[in-house]
Structure 1
């Protein structure tokens, strides 16, 4: 009876004699693998460092902001740092330029003087704000051009300098809508003004003025709460007739 014998032929990597018979240089293969691993590790470190710098870099932007009070034909021009580190040597340029200044553009000279020189530094979250008039019907009454491009350049360290452009279209902000509640301070003052305009002799009763005094007293308390204790001065509502 015949017996089959299975023979398995293997190569031990440590057996250099056997490896040479198969034509495999295991030392070279190990060196290539180590080199590839080192390159991947270096690339990962470079990429992580770049991401960290981008997350913590300064980012200075220019924008319009709609004021919460008296928003009609009013805007706020704002330059602010929304990044995570200090921006240095900030240069702000306007296209078209802001000169010459017309007599109706009373607030434009303040913007010119503020940005005619580079700003030394602007910390994270810090901003520079200027109130301006914005009249879509007559550009000569607007303190800034209705279609404006603002170029801001700045640096973080000693070498690299960042540069961004922002287009500000006033017509976009003119579509803003808002409502004033009758219970708000502005709403109550507006109601009192309307009532005073329509006041006649028949309305001059003690109850009418007493109600007006109560409204003024409520407004005074609201203003005092907004300003905080010990800040500002509020006239005594009892002085109102």
Structure 2
């Protein structure tokens, strides 16, 4: 093989390597951009949480866990949330939940969360908690929103109140709710003692 052919072949190999390197570089750059966007995007989530110190109750929380602002947020439910019956309408908080998400939310800043009571547990005849609110035990929450550049995102969350029914917990005498009960018991004893003293005073006593 003559030197000219060898040189031409080497040039072709170099050119091919350059094309591959360029393609790989473009792909790496695109992936880096996607990773950067994913890290900086708003990230909304819907979840059920226990209401502290309120036995048998759950709240629905919609929160922006991302590092940037979410805009033009729509929150929808499947099945659609029903209205309370006339018998409980005056005590139900479901209308507040429905009204909050019946319209577009302009902005959710990083860390911002929206809370509403979803499951208001009341003991039934068998001692098992039932939901006072007319809301389904299982619900799908769909979140549609944008970032500040106008990119759209859609996230779906399947929530189930039954997940919390078989929950077990451990409590401590030093926990805040235990301390509150202890203080309440002490105050009740003091009140009873004071009533006894007042009732035992004879005529003319101060």
Shorter-normalised TM range: 0.7 to 0.9
Residue 91 of structure 1: how far off its partner (Å):
0.5
Match of 1:66 in 2: 50
1:128 to 2:111 alignment? no
Q: Is the 8 A contact 2:56 2:129 kept in 1?
A: no
Residue 34 of structure 1: how far off its partner (Å):
1.6
2:66 to 61, 83, 100: 83
Residue 194 of structure 1: how far off its partner (Å):
5.2
Q: Is the 8 A contact 1:134 1:143 kept in 2?
A: no
**Structure exhibiting the larger radius of gyration computed from Cα positions:** 1
1:190 to 2:181 alignment? yes
Count of aligned positions: 187
Measured in 2, the distance between the counterparts of 1:193 and 1:35 equals 78
- Going from structure 1 to structure 2, the CA distance change for 1:68 and 1:51 (only over 3 Å counts) comes to same
Any idea what the Cα deviations from partners look like across 1:82-132, whole Å, max 9, x if unmatched?
A: 112111111000111112222436111111111100100111111111134
Structure with more strand by fraction: 2
Measured in 2, the distance between the counterparts of 1:79 and 1:26 equals 61
Residue 74 of structure 1: how far off its partner (Å):
1.2
- Going from structure 1 to structure 2, the CA distance change for 1:89 and 1:187 (only over 3 Å counts) comes to same
Which residues of structure 1 form unaligned runs of 5+?
1-10, 12-16, 206-241
Match of 1:3 in 2: none
Any idea what the Cα deviations from partners look like across 1:143-166, whole Å, max 9, x if unmatched?
A: 532111111111114553111111
Q: Give the match's secondary structure for 2:71.
A: strand
TM-score in terms of structure 1 length: 0.66
TM-score in terms of structure 2 length: 0.76
